[in-house]
A and B are shown apart, each in its own frame.
Chain A
């Protein structure tokens, strides 16, 4: 189904930026909704078996999204986004900060800066993501959150689904 959709992933260590580009076989307005409406966002944001749980979201400049990545054991890893720029169906920018359930930032982690651009390319919609950090600490944090294990089991889950479809 989606094997022909192109994804580019590159890491610019010099600028501490991860760049991700992906095509989607959907209209620009649906892709925009999927990224900006909490009910839809929660359906795909967390890689299985994690679940995304948005506690509050105010999608406007200066507004925030507070959400948790919930592990299968029920551990909650909270973050908040703060939207700094929104140009509907074109681009939005936000900071991302690890925090506790009450939105208190976890000390010494700083924030990452996200810049997400949407464009139409014929029938497809292209999303271009740049994630910039002061340090590579976010990657450390992801490891600490146990994504490594979580992800391995997610892949096994995917294998099962693919297997069942054969």
Chain B
């Protein structure tokens, strides 16, 4: 199953996991130790992050290590950039509207 990347950052625990694995590659156990929730709960978050294609999996011996796929996170930044541009577009329209209001005032 493929998920929308924004599901990854919609949850505080998942955001915290992303921060953790952006610095280090960690095993699921090492990630779970950082949280006060059950291992199952953390496994579920890891599964979702995996489905968002945000995780890079590395096998070393018997252990799996997870690391953040930096490129995918950039999609979020790009999206916020789009959100910003929506506001810029709105505001340049508002500038025009305000100019029209001003010139109407001057007519009166």
Contact = CB atoms under 8 A, between A and B. Distances in A.
A-B interaction: yes
Interface of A: 1-2, 5, 7, 9, 11, 13, 18, 20, 22, 24-27, 30-31, 33-34, 40, 43-48, 135-137, 139-140, 142-143, 147-148, 151, 154-155, 158
A1 B95 contact: yes
A136 B83 CA distance: 12
Given A136-B9, A139-B6, A151-B82, 14 more contacts: A1-B95, A7-B91, A11-B80, A20-B87, A24-B94, A25-B95, A30-B101, A34-B94, A44-B93, A135-B11, A136-B10, A147-B82, A151-B85, A151-B86
Q: Which 6 pairs of residues, A with B, have the shortest CB-CB distance?
A: A44-B93, A26-B98, A47-B89, A44-B94, A140-B6, A9-B84
Contacts, number: 86
Interface residues on chain B, size class: 20 to 34
B101 A26 contact: yes
Contacts of B86: 47, 142, 147, 151
Contacts of B87: 7, 9, 20, 22
B35 interface: no
